[in-house]
Structure 1
């Protein structure tokens, strides 16, 4: 049974809401009777999520400034305010050594994972500051605290999310707004499965099993629902004194 946090009636914007972490958090927020604004560029999957959970569906590409401003404007038009923001949308990009990546490969990942997070923060903080309240959770990754060969655009983008989180937390604190980020490790999502296929197209299941064995706690991948548990706590008043921090959820993988 999920913990209840008393978020009923609060206006919650979730990007990347059609699947993965976004859908898991949106599902929990719907259970709390929050007023949902669901954002994703996958129109079909977003429509299905909105039909199941309720709320306002806004098709948007978070790498585009006008579309970021548009989903924030749609939330304010519908509800007059934004209380909670899960700034989550992201992509993995292509895995390859730096010498084999194009600038376009880098820019594609950076546009969504870093610039999109920045633009979301900027637009939502403009709404939250006059309110004098609000809570924001960004999706980083354990990639925010370590490097990885053949994954440089993603690693750089998630380091950027951590930096943006810390800066935003300091700017927002005088207005009663908290900003944190979650840093998932190996979580069983569509993105994780795509990465195993990139690592070894001939045996992605073998990669999945090997990665599972590397996790100290349970020798398994985590679930999107487990990430949602952490996000919900950070969005709630239970984490009232927590801001500007990276919160790992990785089964102890980075404990050593």
Structure 2
């Protein structure tokens, strides 16, 4: 029960890594809001773990503010913010990515963190405690060709995590990131371009441990970073990559 008495919002919590994190946090005693653009799916997962469900567009300030207001009204405060929602563009030469694709990737992967910080930092500062966990990617550490603007968005997440950590540490707020290698999530076909045995074999050949990441892998890392066991840990971008970035 490492999160007993804590409250947490998990964006993109209806599937993939986010669902794994939401379920793991609930197992460890947290009260969890499952927030996702797919409202019905968010409600379903929330119902299964005894949490709150919320439909949210993390790229829109008004939607994020409403999400935080709902959680705060229900619980009184939000202790942990997990910025997991993310999207990618299909593998293609950087100059062929459309403006709409570029905007979507940056709005969901980067702007969302600004918006949740703007909504939550004031209450966290007021009580001198709080925690952010961003779900970044190995793409922001060791970029893959043809995923240029996705890579760049995750590099932004890593830098934002570190600069937030430095600025917010005096207020008792910790900020860390988990950097997964490609995993068994709905985004996998987007990263690969096509989900075929040949493409999976190509991906696996770059991971020394010999497998893709799982939602449980990422949830366990996020659990540590969100728990009091990591009280001295801030500004870390933790690779959970089976050795890919070595």
Q: Where in structure 1 do 4 or more consecutive aligned residues deviate above 3 Å?
A: none
Distance (Å, rounded) in 1 between the aligned partners of 2:202 and 2:186: 18
Distance (Å, rounded) in 1 between the aligned partners of 2:100 and 2:37: 20
Is 1:171 the counterpart of 2:163 in the alignment?
A: no
**Which residue in 1 is equivalent to 2:234?**
243
Q: 1:186 Cα shift?
A: 2.2
**Which residue in 1 is equivalent to 2:105?**
109
Distance (Å, rounded) in 1 between the aligned partners of 2:198 and 2:161: 35
Counting only pairs closer than 5 Å after superposition, residues 137-216 of structure 1 correspond to structure 2 as: 137-196=133-192, 198=193, 201=194, 204-216=196-208
Give the alignment's Cα RMSD to 1 decimal: 1.3
Q: 1:190 Cα shift?
A: 1.4
Q: Is the 8 A contact 1:40 1:61 kept in 2?
A: yes
Unaligned runs of 5+ in 2: none
Equivalent position SS for 2:9: strand
TM-score (norm 2): 0.96
**Which residue in 2 is equivalent to 1:225?**
216
Q: Is the 8 A contact 1:121 1:168 kept in 2?
A: no
Distance (Å, rounded) in 1 between the aligned partners of 2:106 and 2:183: 21
TM-score (norm 1): 0.92
Distance (Å, rounded) in 2 between the aligned partners of 1:213 and 1:136: 33
Q: Deviations over 1:146-194 (max 9, x none)?
A: 3322111211110111111111111211111110011101222111133
Counting only pairs closer than 5 Å after superposition, residues 33-112 of structure 1 correspond to structure 2 as: 33-112=29-108
Equivalent position SS for 1:62: coil
Distance (Å, rounded) in 2 between the aligned partners of 1:33 and 1:238: 15
Equivalent position SS for 1:155: helix
Distance (Å, rounded) in 2 between the aligned partners of 1:76 and 1:52: 21
**When the two structures are aligned, how many residues end up with a matched partner?**
246
Unaligned runs of 5+ in 1: none
Distance (Å, rounded) in 2 between the aligned partners of 1:135 and 1:101: 34
Q: Is the 8 A contact 2:110 2:157 kept in 1?
A: yes
Q: 1:125 Cα shift?
A: 1.1
Distance (Å, rounded) in 2 between the aligned partners of 1:229 and 1:32: 11
Aligned pair partner of 1:17 in 7, 13, 18 = 13
Q: Deviations over 1:86-134 (max 9, x none)?
A: 1111111232112212222111110100111211122121221111111
